[in-house]
Structure 1
Amino acid sequence: MSFVERYLPSTGPRLILAASVPVALSSGTLFVYSVYGTQLADQCGLDSSSAANLNISATVGTSIGGLLGGYITDLLGTQIPVFCSLVFISFGYKWLHSLYNQGDNAQSWQLIAAMFFIGLGSTSSYFASLKAVTVSFPKYKATAQSITIASFAISSLLYSLVYTKVFHGDVSRFLFFLAASSTVMQLIGVIYIRIAGHKNSVPNQDFFEEGQQLLEESESDSALDVPDENKHQVGSLKHLNLRSSIIHPIFLVHFFLMAILQGLGQMYIYSVGFIVKAIYYGFLHSSSNSNNVPSLHSLQALHVSLIAIFSFLGRLTSGPLSDNMVHRFKCQRHWVTVLGVLIMLLGHFLLSFPIDTWSSNLTHVNVCLSLISCIIGFAYGLCFTTFPGIMADLFSMKNYSLIWGIVYSSTVPGLTVFTKIFGYIYDHNSVLVGDDYVCDKGSFCYLATFELTSCLTVIVLVVLLVYIYLRRS
């Protein structure tokens, strides 16, 4: 899109970082699905397994968007993927808005397709923004990345507040608002997020020359951002071509670690509405006093907000902590990931207990579940934000967006497996009441899921520690 450069205002590192915030906010609306997801499922007559297919479709879209958007970003620069995101997200939400209004007449495949387009648009511009801030701030890339990534995380909180305070739970109007606001915020990215790719039709233009210089500076500075004992190995990885990079054992280790950690975090984010619903109906079924009980929708919105706040805090913490580990303590960024996995283990371990039996008061039980949402949200944000910086340190910046997109695509198998397990166990304990599937067994609706995930988290922790030890050796 170099032909429109002359008509756009000038940009620079600070403007790129600032513009990445609304782009990330728009991209992060994908996770506000947890707020309206159960209402969408009820309106369109979906059980929890069918609703899980919408989650998976969106995740497949994010992976494909990350891969294609990453390739285009590396080759041609950032503007094309950001513009494509503008189109896909706006179209996806407008289509979902139309399908919601159709109710039971909405076709399942159309719902899946709409969520796919939303996912597709969410990562194209998001990953382009990540590369733009990475090459704009090569010395403190993790800190710069954390601002963009944290904005992505806080999006669901801001939009859930709009959903409850402005639209008062009106899903139809809210979906239309998502379409309109996403268009405006992605447009800001099209205007200001402009970093060159390897191959441009106007190589002599000052902007593209500056973009290439930023890439070269980022490449050289990344080589300094690793402990001394690892510099030789990392230097050799940076000279690998794309094919050699993605079949290298170090890449594969990070791919599978990312798959499991993303699956653990996103499965809870997408499923927390059903967890709250199970405890809520379990309490109503077992208690004769249902007076002064908060509404299910308000409880679901509370947990989405808590996850968003603490994921935001985890992401903001991760960047500066990661940079300090490298520059001040000469340690690997992976130690921040280890900390995040330990916190994640605590959250999943607590969910493997029947927390609704700890009190006969729904408010007290909800406090316990709220604490768990805070723990998992913070751990997810802390873990996820370490990976972009790690991949930038290890591999060539020329292929950064595509390499990161491939790593991020590991979310698909991770989330697919965990949401299917959750959906199977949840549906196995549910009964059809009217047109809605309801599980009134409380925490026993999902307990087995988190017993399994707790064990997997321990395995991830062991693999990380072994990797760190071998790298030091």
Structure 2
Amino acid sequence: MNSGSVGTSHQHHNSHVFRRCLALFMSIFVGLASGTPYLYGIYSPQLVKRVQLTASDSATISLAINIGTGVGGFLGGILIDHKGPQFCIFLGSIFIFLGYMGLYQVYRHAYSSLFVICFCAMVMGFGSIASYFATLKASQTNFPAHRGSAGVFPVSSYGLAASLFSLVTAKFFESDTGGLLRFLSLCCGTTVFIGSWFVKIFVDDHPVDEEAETQPLLSSSSEANTEDAETAADMKLSYSDNASIAGSISFWGIGDRTPRSSSSSLSPDLVPTVNGLREENASATPKRPAFSNRNNSFASAWIIVWDLLTNRQFLAHFSLVALFTGSAQTYIFSIGFIVAAQVTYSEYSDLNAPQVQALQVAILSIASFSGRLTSGILSDFLYKKLHIQRLWIIIVNTAILAVGLFITSVNNGNIHLISLTSALIGGSFGLTFGTYPAIIADFFGTRTFSTTWGLICMGPLLVLYILNKFFGIIYDANTDPDTGICYKGNGCYKGAIEACFSLCFIIVVINILLIYIHRKRQ
């Protein structure tokens, strides 16, 4: 390339700097407006009471939200890859507006239809997660050399959204659940809609540095330590596959842990093969942007899903995440009912349930955010410096979760202990979800990472529904039929929390088995 063309490309690149920074700045507000699904714990008791449903029905509504964010997130990711982040943020704004506006109308008219409420909750969940994933895609693609740093902005804002809106609730909508739902519809829907005009991918005319794009995938695959030549074959990807996968995994810090030139983590018989594939990939890489000419195959995706579902190690990880997340989210989504029962039973008659509910949601949000923020540094330190498997972090997190659940089951009237359990459970939840993507990459490599992780995230749906339903049945059985209030403190839900506590022992057993398998592979 001559100097004139280099100068032109450099000027064209610089012309996008302001718009990229503006897109990153606006992604913060889109992330904030998209991170409201966990607010359900604040308004759920008031909503189900207004429409004359039960705590058991509330479990079904929380499942609908998780279907929207879980299954919807998997499908939304495919839509983002095909239509781009700007379109998906625009679509997400419509879904968020319609979802919350539907819930507001249901509350306003006391329309007792569980199906309609669940549909609105699912629409809201899908709009939220689609908008959030789209900001991640745009942030990482616009800043290919700083994907981790760029991704921090939307992730941080998404994680802190529940804290921000819980404070807004306590300040302005303390006893006005209908007003809160209307505010969320207008504020969040409008904010995401405005963001859709700014958050987009800006394409450069000059070629992207192939070394920077392919390095994360190759080094990460080296780290995976798989035991046969299939690992080396997984590295032999087209450039478009490399760019797509590298973009999806780089946010988690996977791919920059091992120097590219090092093959020491591979078995000796694979080193020549891997080095040859690296040279072949470097020479065959076409000169085009990383985000162009995608070649996604739906047929291949379903084959990968089937292979994963018939893999015993994957099923072990699937079960572990499902049980851990289901247990933690049972507390998170039921915190409104837990607070209501404890405030009613407490000797402090001046306590205000909505304010305490908002406080607990804020604590859960901040603790989860802190756990996610520290997970990467902690897991890398243990794995790279101390040579300890990341799965040991999950065992520690399970112990923290168990302590939080145990305190919840025995606490009777102590409001301060609720704050402690929210911090423990929220922190363990965030730390686990911040660590586990790297664990999946260690076990299964990075070629199918997006599909594998998306499938893992769908696991908690059934467990969460069963546990939440069980929570609702116990709560309803102990509720006064005349007042609709449970006056028994922890007796309102103790059996359900004890069930979650018992699952922690199963989680530890599965975890130890996976540690043994991973050590045997190495």
Q: TM-score range by the shorter chain?
A: 0.7 to 0.9
SS at match of 2:36: helix
Greater C-alpha radius of gyration = 2
Instruction: Spell out the pairing of 1:401-416 with structure 2 (5 A cutoff).
Output: 401-416=450-465
Counterpart residue number, 1:84: 91
Shift of residue 129 of structure 1? 3.7
For residue 46 of structure 1, give the secondary structure of its aligned residue in structure 2.
coil
Alignment counterpart, residue 469 of structure 2, candidates 413, 420, 432: 420
Give a deviation string over 1:310-345, Cα, whole Å, max 9, x none.
112112111322343344445443333333222112
SS in 2 for 1:206: coil
Deviation at 1:445, TM superposition (A): 1.4
Q: Within 5 Å, give how 1:98-247 maps onto structure 2.
A: 98-103=105-110, 105-131=111-137, 148-187=154-193, 190-191=196-197, 193-194=199-200, 206=204, 210=208, 216-223=214-221, 226=223, 242=301, 243-244=303-304, 246-247=308-309
Q: 2:406 aligns with which of 342, 345, 349?
A: 349
Say whether residues 1:321 and 2:378 are aligned partners: yes
SS of corresponding position for 1:439: coil
TM-score normalised to structure 2 length: 0.74
Equivalent of 1:265, from 328, 331, 334? 328
Residue 458 of structure 1 deviates from its aligned partner by 1.7
**Which structure exhibits the higher relative contact order, with contacts defined as CA atoms closer than 8 Å and separated by 6 or more residues?**
1
Aligned residues of 1:150 and 1:315 also touching (Cα < 8 A): no
1:58 positional shift: 1.1
Q: State the Cα deviation string for residues 65-84 of structure 1 (Å, max 9, x = none).
A: 11211222344543333332
Identity, % of aligned positions: 31
Residue 44 (1) aligns with residue 51 (2): yes
* Counterpart pick for 1:274 among 329, 337, 343: 337
**Could you tell me which residue of structure 1 aligns to residue 70 of structure 2?**
63
Cα distance, 1:98–1:147 mapped onto 2, change above 3 Å = same
Provide the alpha-carbon RMSD of the alignment: 3.5
Answering whether residue 104 of structure 2 is matched by residue 97 of structure 1, we say yes
* 2:127 counterpart letter in structure 1: G
Do structure 1's residue 472 and structure 2's residue 472 form an aligned pair?
no
Q: Distance in 2 between matches of 1:368 and 1:158?
A: 22
Query: What whole-Å deviation, never above 9, does each CA across 1:101-154 have from its counterpart, x for those lacking one?
Result: 112x35332211111101111222323444555667889977766664443232
CA distance in 1, matches of 2:394, 2:146: 18
Q: Report the secondary structure of 2:481's partner residue.
A: strand
TM-score for the superposition, normalised by structure 1: 0.81
Tell me whether 255-264 or 397-406 shows the greater mean CA deviation. Answer: 397-406
CA distance in 2, matches of 1:371, 1:112: 31
* SS, match of residue 35 in structure 2: helix
Query: 2:30 matched to 1:23?
Result: yes
* Secondary structure of residue in 1 paired with 2:79: helix
Equivalent pair of 2:167/2:359 in contact (CA under 8 Å): no
Match of 1:368 among 408, 413, 417: 417
Equivalent residue pairs, number: 441
Alignment check: 8 A CA contact 2:220 2:445 kept: no
CA separation of 1:261 and 1:19: change in aligned 2, threshold 3 A: farther
Structure 1 window deviating more from structure 2 (377-386 vs 241-250): it is 241-250
CA distance in structure 1 between the aligned counterparts of 2:174 and 2:509, rounded to whole angstroms: 46
Within 1, Cα distance between the matches of 2:39 and 2:462? 21
The match for 1:456 is 503
CA contact (8 A) 2:221 2:445 kept: no
Q: Report the residue type matching 1:279 in the other structure.
A: Q
Task: Structure 2: give runs of 5+ residues left out of the alignment.
Answer: 1-14, 238-299
Deviation of 1:96 after TM superposition, in Å, equals: 1.4
User: 2:330 corresponds to which letter in structure 1?
Assistant: M
Q: Which residue identity lines up with residue 111 of structure 1 in the other structure?
A: I
Q: 1:377 to 1:257 in 2, by over 3 A?
A: same
1:429 matched to which residue of 2? Answer: 478
**For structure 1, which segment, 66-75 or 156-165, has the greater mean C-alpha deviation from structure 2 after superposition?**
66-75
Q: Which amino acid aligns with 2:29?
A: P
